[in-house]
Amino acid sequence: MAGPVLVKVGKVPGRVDEYAIDGQPTVETALKTAGLKVGKHDEVRVNGGPAALDAELHNNDVVLLTPQVKGA
């Protein structure tokens, strides 16, 4: 049986902390574990790219919750 998946989760601006999550975590699971909620104007990114809440995470993934940037 595999051990926990280590992921870094945080909000920009703010802190990024590392969490060990059992099973096969999703982005939503990681955000809940970190005590973060996706707001109306937030964007979720994994390893720098946009991600869905149901996307599966792997060891050393970085999940960031960032404010949406208004484009030109």
Domain ranges of the chain: 5-67
CA atoms of 22 and 39, how far apart (whole Å): 25
- Average pLDDT, whole number, for the chain? 92
Options 3.90.1150.10, 1.10.287.370, 3.40.30.10, 3.10.20.30; CATH of 5-67: 3.10.20.30
pLDDT (tens digit per residue) in 21-51: 999 999 999 999 999 999 888 999 999 999 9
Return the pLDDT at 71.
63
Return the pLDDT at 63.
97
Residue 7, pLDDT above cutoff 50: yes
CA atoms of 23 and 12, how far apart (whole Å): 26
Residue 72, pLDDT above cutoff 50: no
25's tokens = 């975590």
Return the pLDDT at 22.
93
